[in-house]
Amino acid sequence: MPHDAVSDATFSDIRPRKPLVALFLSVCPGLGQHYAGHLGRGILFYITLIVASWLAAIAFMSIGSKLSIVFLCVPFVGVALIAFDAWNCARHQSPDYRLQWFNRLWIYAGVFLTLLFTVNPLMDLLVGRHVVRAFFMTSSSMAPTILDRDIVLVNKWAFPKRGDIALIHFGEKKPGAKLTQLIDDQFIKRVIAVPGDTLEIRSDTVWINGRKIEEPYANFSGMLRFIGTESADYGPATVPPDSYFVMGDNRNESIDSRLLGFIGKGQIGGTVTKVFWSWNFEEGGIRWDRTARSLK
């Protein structure tokens, strides 16, 4: 190869790093550092952000105080700091920076797509299945405790006790059964009775083991849409082993154990502990007062 051709090829590999490009690429945290010539730094920051975000979610879920809202800021602050660091790395990179093997557009695109379609879903699957997950409420069956369009957090580590709110896996819908077609695969109800309890419902009053229980959360303002006044009473019945009796707080708007029967232990997917976010743009937009609200 002629000397001039070698010189031109060498010169073409010298590309100053542009801070604004690094900042733009930081929409995928760590990719800006990758662009700026700090591949290992970018990978480390990405992993740190993922771990810190999930730890923050666990802390937010576990702490009852409204101060836990601080932990909601962790992912956003982390992304901002990583973006600033990428901008700074590019700004301080040598003007005669020589492109590395990883400074290729197709590699940037490959990293972004790999994270988007493999790493992120895998993390969501592992943590969502075993630690904490979010659930979007699409009914008023738990009002006023949980409102339609609340996003709540489910603690997968905590199995609900009597009185706790639980995430329940209903399972497959039964073809042709009008009732089960009204139910989502997963729904949220309150655990009213546990294995061995004797349950009886008379005139909207719940009796457990012969004692009337206080239910400040119960709401009877809606219409008896599903059960009808002639079938509002229930029991007495004893809850079988490894089974639970659940009801919605909005008693007249809820399909629950009064119609579905007992819920098996294996169908319970965790304890609902807190409202993460809430909005209803038909009624004023974001419901800020519900953010970080603990549920009881």
Mark whether 66 is an active-site residue. Answer: no
Distances (CA, A) of 70 to 49, 124, 150, 286, 288: 16, 22, 19, 18, 14
Do residues 75 and 56 make contact, with C-beta atoms less than 8 angstroms apart?
Answer: yes
Name the catalytic one among 53, 139, 141, 257.
141
| Pick from 223, 217, 215, 218: nearest CA to 252 | 223
Mark whether 139 is an active-site residue. Answer: no
Do residues 247 and 189 make contact, with C-beta atoms less than 8 angstroms apart?
Answer: yes
Structural tokens at position 60: 């937010």
Name the catalytic one among 26, 68, 139, 189.
189
Whether the CA torsion 55, 56, 61, 67 is positive or negative: it is positive
**How would DSSP label each residue in 63-84?**
--SGGGGGGGGHHHHHHHHHHH
The catalytic site residues sit at 141, 189
